[in-house]
Structure 1
Amino acid sequence: MASTGAPGPSKTETGSSTRLGVDSEVGTLETVLLHRPGPELKRLTPRNSDKLLFDAIPWVSRAQEEHDAFAETLRGRGVEVLYLTELLVETLADAEARERAIDGVTNTLHLGDTLATYLRDSLHDRTPEELALFLTAGVRNDEVRGGHGLVTSLLAEDDFLIDPLPNLLFTRDSSVWIGDRVAITSLALPARRRETQLTELIYTRHPRFAGTSTIHGWQHETVEGGDVLLMSPGVVAVGVGERTTPAGAERFARHLFAEGLAHTVLAVPITQERATMHLDTVCTMVDVDKIVMYPNLADSLQAYAVTRAEPGEGGDPDELLVAPAEPFLVAAAKAMQIDTLHQIDTGLDPVTAEREQWDDGNNTLALAPRVAVAYERNDQTNARLEAAGIEVVRIAGSELGSGRGGPRCMSCPVSRTPLPTM
Structure 2
Amino acid sequence: MSSTERSFGINSEVGRLRSVILHRPGGELRRLTPRNNGALLFDGVPWVERAQAEHDRFARTLLDHGVEVLYVGALLTECLYLPEAREEAIASAAADPRLGQTLGRELRAYLSDLGPERLAAVLVEGLTKEEFGSGGSLRGKLMRGTDFVIEPLPNMMFTRDSSVWIGDAVAVTSLAMPARRRETSLTSVIYRHHHRFADVPKIYDPSLEHLEGGDVLALAPGVLAVGVGERTTPAGVERLARRVFERGTVRTVLAVPIAQRRATMHLDTVCTMVDVDRMVMYAPAENRLDAYTITPGDGEDPAIDGPRSFLDAAAEAIGVERIEIIHTGARDVVTAEREQWDDGNNTLALAPAVAVAYERNTVTNGRLERAGIKTMTIPGSELGSGRGGPRCMSCPIARDPLPIES
Question: Residue 226 of structure 1: CA displacement?
Answer: 0.4
Say whether the 8 Å CA contact 2:221–2:403 is kept in structure 1. no
CA–CA distance in structure 1, aligned partners of residues 354 and 90 of structure 2: 42
Say yes or no: does 1:413 pair with 2:390.
no
CA–CA distance in structure 2, aligned partners of residues 355 and 282 of structure 1: 13
Question: Residue 322 of structure 1: CA displacement?
Answer: 0.7
2:51 equivalent in structure 1: 63
CA–CA distance in structure 2, aligned partners of residues 116 and 162 of structure 1: 10
Say yes or no: does 1:36 pair with 2:19.
no
Pick the aligned partner of 2:326 from 327, 344, 347.
Answer: 344
Pick the aligned partner of 2:81 from 93, 96, 110.
Answer: 93
CA–CA distance in structure 2, aligned partners of residues 184 and 86 of structure 1: 19
CA–CA distance in structure 2, aligned partners of residues 227 and 421 of structure 1: 23
Question: Residue 147 of structure 1: CA displacement?
Answer: 2.2
Say yes or no: does 1:276 pair with 2:273.
no
Say yes or no: does 1:331 pair with 2:313.
yes
SS where residue 175 of structure 2 aligns? Answer: coil
1:371 equivalent in structure 2: 354
CA–CA distance in structure 2, aligned partners of residues 183 and 76 of structure 1: 28
Question: Residue 307 of structure 1: CA displacement?
Answer: 0.5
CA–CA distance in structure 2, aligned partners of residues 350 and 122 of structure 1: 53
Tell me which amino acid in the other structure corresponds to 2:222.
Answer: G
Question: Residue 125 of structure 1: CA displacement?
Answer: 1.1
RMSD: 1.0
Question: Residue 113 of structure 1: CA displacement?
Answer: 1.9
5 Å-filtered alignment, 1:19-418, equals 19-145=7-133, 147-309=135-297, 315-316=298-299, 318-348=300-330, 349-418=332-401
CA–CA distance in structure 2, aligned partners of residues 345 and 144 of structure 1: 50
CA–CA distance in structure 1, aligned partners of residues 243 and 303 of structure 2: 15
SS where residue 25 of structure 1 aligns? Answer: coil
Deviations 1:9-30 (A, max 9, x none): xxxxx96211111110000000
TM-score, scaled to structure 1: 0.94
Runs of 4+ in 1 over 4 A off after TM superposition: none
CA–CA distance in structure 2, aligned partners of residues 188 and 394 of structure 1: 30
Stretch deviating more after TM superposition (79-88 or 146-155): 146-155
CA–CA distance in structure 2, aligned partners of residues 15 and 418 of structure 1: 17
Deviations 1:306-349 (A, max 9, x none): 0012xxxxx21x21111111111100001111111111111112
Residues 268 and 15 from structure 1, CA distance in 2 versus in 1: closer, same or farther, beyond 3 angstroms?
closer
Deviations 1:170-194 (A, max 9, x none): 0000000111000110000100001
Deviations 1:174-231 (A, max 9, x none): 0001110001100001000011111111011001112111111100000000000000
Stretch deviating more after TM superposition (103-112 or 66-75): 103-112
CA–CA distance in structure 2, aligned partners of residues 133 and 377 of structure 1: 31
1:7 equivalent in structure 2: none
TM-score, scaled to structure 2: 0.98
Gaps of 5+ in 1: 1-13, 310-314
How many aligned residue pairs are there? 403
Question: Residue 149 of structure 1: CA displacement?
Answer: 2.4
Tell me which amino acid in the other structure corresponds to 1:154.
Answer: L
CA–CA distance in structure 2, aligned partners of residues 55 and 322 of structure 1: 37
CA–CA distance in structure 2, aligned partners of residues 294 and 220 of structure 1: 30
Question: Residue 420 of structure 1: CA displacement?
Answer: 2.1
Say whether the 8 Å CA contact 2:40–2:154 is kept in structure 1. yes
Residues 264 and 15 from structure 1, CA distance in 2 versus in 1: closer, same or farther, beyond 3 angstroms?
closer
Tell me which amino acid in the other structure corresponds to 2:362.
Answer: D
Question: Residue 297 of structure 1: CA displacement?
Answer: 1.4
Question: Residue 249 of structure 1: CA displacement?
Answer: 1.0
Question: Residue 148 of structure 1: CA displacement?
Answer: 3.0
Say whether the 8 Å CA contact 2:347–2:356 is kept in structure 1. yes
Gaps of 5+ in 2: none
Tell me which amino acid in the other structure corresponds to 2:322.
Answer: T
Deviations 1:30-85 (A, max 9, x none): 00000001101100011110000000000000000010011001000000000011
CA–CA distance in structure 1, aligned partners of residues 159 and 390 of structure 2: 10
Tell me which amino acid in the other structure corresponds to 1:338.
Answer: V
Deviations 1:270-313 (A, max 9, x none): 0001000000000000000000000111111000110012xxxx
Stretch deviating more after TM superposition (153-162 or 72-81): 153-162
CA–CA distance in structure 1, aligned partners of residues 280 and 132 of structure 2: 48
